[in-house]
């Protein structure tokens, strides 16, 4: 039981490049989330999904896109990387409303 | 939307002493309050949570209290140990199912 798996763990991008951050879960949780964590700050919600085929914007969605074609996977897409997107990205799952979220170990992304 | 404030941002205690971290929230509709511990290079891990129908919850050396009237909740760690050193985050969640996180407290336990 791997829980929440994020790949890659580290990545360096050039400005203007694109990439997809992968998130996979094996807990059959309906709810999935993408956060970014900047130094000295809490977690800011980028996008979330309450089930396959359903996605919604969070607090800081600009510059990102998501899709949810299966329960297991929730990829996050950066189309035109900008230095402001340098951050640590966390994926989380949740079994239901007002239940604990389960986090992956993050993807550390630097854009130069 | 919800606004969660967390204090202090850093906290140093001697091993064996207690540590207290406080959070306030703004949305009276919030009804679920988890606490997470984040170690270096890892994702946050749930350590304890409390729901709005409960005023206090305890799990061994860790306890959380909730004051709905004042809109604040606190984490209490007793008999601190070096392995308690980490960053701790509070969060609040309500009907919209979004979690709003505090900015974190870096706890250092000095042996």
Quote the minimal CA–CA distance from A82 to chain B in Å.
Answer: 23
Q: Is A84 left (phi over 0), alpha (psi -120 to 50) or beta?
A: alpha
Average of per-residue pLDDT across A78-90: 96
- Chain-chain contact of B44 with A90 (C-beta, under 8 angstroms): yes
Q: What is the mean pLDDT of chain A?
A: 95
Tell me the pLDDT tens digit for each residue of B27-62. Answer: 999 999 999 999 999 999 999 999 988 899 999 999
Does A104 reach chain B within 8 Å, measured CB to CB?
yes
Say yes or no to pLDDT of A38 above 80.
Answer: yes
Token pair for residue B7? 């204090």
pLDDT in tens, A44-64: 999 999 999 999 999 999 999
Q: In B, residues 52-81, which contact A (CB 8 Å cutoff)?
A: none
pLDDT per residue over B56-107, tens digit each? 999 999 999 999 999 999 999 999 999 999 999 999 998 777 899 999 999 9
| Contact list, B24 vs chain A (CB under 8 Å) | none
Put simply, the answer to whether B9 touches A103 (Cβ < 8 Å) is: no
Residue A102, min C-alpha distance to chain B (Å) = 7
Q: How far apart are the first and last CA of chain A?
A: 36
Among B13, B44, B38, B27, residue whose Cα is nearest residue B100:
B27
pLDDT score recorded for residue A108? 97
Distance CA B58, CA B36 (A): 15
- What does the DSSP 8-state code read for residue A14? -
Does the beta-carbon distance from B98 to A97 stay under 8 Å?
no
Say which of B32, B46, B103 has its CB closest to residue A42.
B103
* Size (chain A), residues: 112
- pLDDT at A1 (0 to 100): 65
* CB neighbour list of residue A99: distance below 8 Å, 6 or more residues apart: none
């Amino acid at each position: 039981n791997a829980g929440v798996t994020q790949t890659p763990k580290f990545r360096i991008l050039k400005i203007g490049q694109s990439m997809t951050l992968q998130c996979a879960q094996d807990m059959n949780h309906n709810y999935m989330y993408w956060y970014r964590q900047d130094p000295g700050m809490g977690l800011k919600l980028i996008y979330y999904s309450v089930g396959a085929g359903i996605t919604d914007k969070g607090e800081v969605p600009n510059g990102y896109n998501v899709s949810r074609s299966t329960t297991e996977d929730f990829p996050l897409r950066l189309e035109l990387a900008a230095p402001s997107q340098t951050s640590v990205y966390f994926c989380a799952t949740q079994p239901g409303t007002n239940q604990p979220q389960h986090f992956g170990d993050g993807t550390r992304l630097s854009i130069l | 939307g919800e606004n969660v404030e967390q204090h202090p941002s850093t906290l140093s205690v001697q091993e064996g002493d207690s540590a207290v971290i406080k959070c306030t929230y703004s949305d009276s509709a919030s009804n679920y309050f988890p606490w997470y511990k984040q170690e270096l290079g890892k994702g946050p891990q749930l350590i304890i949570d409390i729901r709005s129908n409960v005023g206090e919850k305890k799990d061994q050396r860790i306890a959380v209290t909730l004051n709905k009237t004042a809109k604040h909740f606190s984490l209490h760690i007793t008999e601190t140990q070096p392995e308690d050193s980490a960053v701790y985050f509070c969060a609040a969640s309500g009907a919209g199912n979004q979690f709003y996180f505090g900015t974190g407290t870096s706890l250092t336990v000095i042996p």
